[in-house]
Amino acid sequence: MINPFTDEYFMKKALQEAEAAFDKGEIPVGAIIVIDNKIIARSHNLTELLNDVTAHAEMQSITAAANFLGGKYLIGCTLYVTLEPCQMCAGALYWSQISKIVYGATDDNRGYVKMGTQLHPKTKVVNGILADEAADLMKRFFAEKRK
Q: Does the pLDDT at position 132 exceed 90?
A: yes
| Rounded average pLDDT over 85-93 | 98
The confidence score (pLDDT) of residue 94 equals 98
List 8, 19, 48, 58, catalytic entry: 58
| Rounded average pLDDT over 122-139 | 97
> What's the mean pLDDT when you consider all of the chain?
96
Q: What is the chain's alpha carbon radius of gyration, rounded to the nearest angstrom?
A: 14
Q: Does the pLDDT at position 1 exceed 80?
A: no
Share of the chain above pLDDT 90, in %: 95
β-sheet bridge partners, residue 47:
none
Q: Does the pLDDT at position 147 exceed 90?
A: no
Whether residue 66 is contained in a domain is answered as: yes
Q: Which amino acid is present at 37?
A: N
77 is in an annotated binding site: no
pTM for the model = 0.96
Which CATH number is 27's domain given? 3.40.140.10
Known catalytic membership, residue 48: no
What is the distance between the alpha carbons of residues 70 and 15, in angstroms, rounded to a whole number?
Answer: 27
CB of 112 closer than 8 Å to CB of 88:
no
50 CB-near residues (< 8 Å, 6+ apart):
none
| Rounded average pLDDT over 136-146 | 92
Instruction: Give the range of the structural domain holding residue 85, as residue numbers without chain letter.
Output: 7-142
Whether residue 147 is contained in a domain is answered as: no
The confidence score (pLDDT) of residue 4 equals 87
Whether residue 23 is contained in a domain is answered as: yes
Whether residue 2 is contained in a domain is answered as: no
86 is in an annotated binding site: yes
pLDDT 10s digits, 13-42: 999 999 999 999 999 999 999 999 999 999
Q: How many domains does the chain have?
A: 1
The band of 82, judged by pLDDT with boundaries at 50, 70 and 90, is very high
What is the distance between the alpha carbons of residues 47 and 23, in angstroms, rounded to a whole number?
Answer: 14
